[in-house]
Amino acid sequence: MTSLSKQEQVEWEKAEYANVNWDELGFALTKTDYMYVMKFTEEEQMFCNGTLIRFGNIQMCPSSGILNYGQGLFEGLKAYRKEDEGILLLRPEENALRMKVGADRMCMPSPTVDQFIDAVKKTVLANKRWVPPHGRGSLYIRPLLMGTGRNLEVKPSSEYTFLVYASPVGNGLKGVLNLMVEDNVHRATPGGTGGIKAVTNYSPIYKPLTEAKAKGFSDLLYLDALTGSNIEECSGCNIFILKGNVISTPTTHGTILPGITRKSIMEIASGFGYQVEERATPIKEVFDAEEVFCTGTAMIVKSVASITYQGKRIEYKLGAETLAQKLHATLTGIQTGVNEDKLGWTMVIDGPPFL
């Protein structure tokens, strides 16, 4: 892995759009040009000397903490292109702060908020030709924090790598959401890592999720591990229930990820005049809900068409007149610069990335 040459910087300055069929983008990796890497070592005792390098594979010791003991975190956020070709981020400081909370739980150092945002900005600018045209997708950004020091013993790593890469993706996840309630496997347990974006949170649910998808379901809705009577979240998104003027969502008490899209939607819905409640939400409440919708970085806001629980299928309102659609339009309007950002959430990205 090498740093950028002057010639590569000149090539970047000339870049326009990558050769991509923007209308065919889903949520999958498309290799872009550059990624950002910054190291923490025992000698320095801080993250420093971050640099942009060509996108590609990385090397690490087979005994590294991330490979042997899962000492790692990740974040996810998006950059959108405005009609005037400007590029916007939405609330990146929230991702930086969430990573710091997760790092503390995983006994890891973390980049400062400024370092995190600077790395994200540089990664986006270096890959600006991969940011889809206005209204045709976004650049998904994946920051990773990994224990990469040599570590045979069960203990925190001595060295860490902060890496940011990006990929263009389409406008949300395609298809409707048909959920099945999972009442045997739990996504998270009290005292665990369900409330942070630890890499170890995800693969344990692959087996039940694969089985559910084989039956035609989109995702699983998990119940709390203590009582098995309250809904928590899906495999990678938060959930909301609408009844009348009240929107309910499970509280983030350590087993549920505090989604940034979730937080944003709650603030927007409150501004619309809805009563938004964070509380324990019994599974029985899904039976008489008017609408159910999910939120997450990938899907933004998406209506749930049905929930199946113990063989009983409940269907919900869909279409252009739903609250979910209104919330989706409002948030994406802010993300893309179409709607005025009265909340101060967006951050404009400009300038050269190679400084």
The whole-angstrom distance between residue 62's C-alpha and the CA centroid of its chain comes to: 28
**What is the per-residue pLDDT for 48?**
93
For residue 237, CA distances in Å to 184, 257, 272 come to 19, 8, 22
3-class secondary-structure state, position 324 = helix
**What is the per-residue pLDDT for 1?**
42
DSSP state of 350: -
Report residue 105 as tokens: 């739980």
Write down the domain spans for the chain.
6-169, 177-336
* Bridge partners of residue 295, in order along the sequence: 238, 301
DSSP state of 122: H
pLDDT at 2 over 50: no
Q: How far apart are CA 243 and CA 97, in angstroms?
A: 32
CATH class of segment(s) 6-169: alpha beta
Contacts of 248 (CB under 8 A, 6+ apart): 240, 241, 277, 278, 279, 281, 285
Contacts of 170 (CB under 8 A, 6+ apart): 24, 25, 26, 27, 137
For residue 22, CA distances in Å to 63, 67, 88, 137 come to 40, 34, 18, 7
**What is the per-residue pLDDT for 12?**
58
Rounded to 5 degrees, φ, ψ at 5 are: -90, 170
| Known catalytic residue at 197 | yes
Contacts of 227 (CB under 8 A, 6+ apart): none
Residue 108 has, within 13 A of its CA and on its CB side, a CA count of 34
| Per-residue pLDDT tens digits for 199-218 | 999 999 999 999 999 999 99
| Per-residue pLDDT tens digits for 63-120 | 999 999 999 999 999 999 999 999 999 999 999 999 999 999 999 999 999 999 999 9
Name the CATH code of domain 177-336 (choices 3.40.50.620, 2.60.120.560, 3.20.10.10, 1.20.140.10).
3.20.10.10
Residue type, position 276, single letter? V
Establish whether domains 6-169 and 177-336 are of one fold. Answer: no
Report residue 19 as tokens: 């050769």
Candidates 100, 121, 197, 302; catalytic one? 197
Q: Which helix (H) or strand (E) holds 99?
A: helix 92-105
User: What number is the average pLDDT over the span 318-345?
Assistant: 96
Q: Around Cβ 252, how many Cβ atoms within 10 Å? A: 18
| Per-residue pLDDT tens digits for 213-255 | 999 999 999 999 999 999 999 999 999 999 999 999 999 989 9
Q: How far apart are CA 269 and CA 263, in angstroms?
A: 10
Burial of 215 (0-12, 13-18, 19+ CB in 10 A): exposed
Report residue 336 as tokens: 């893309």
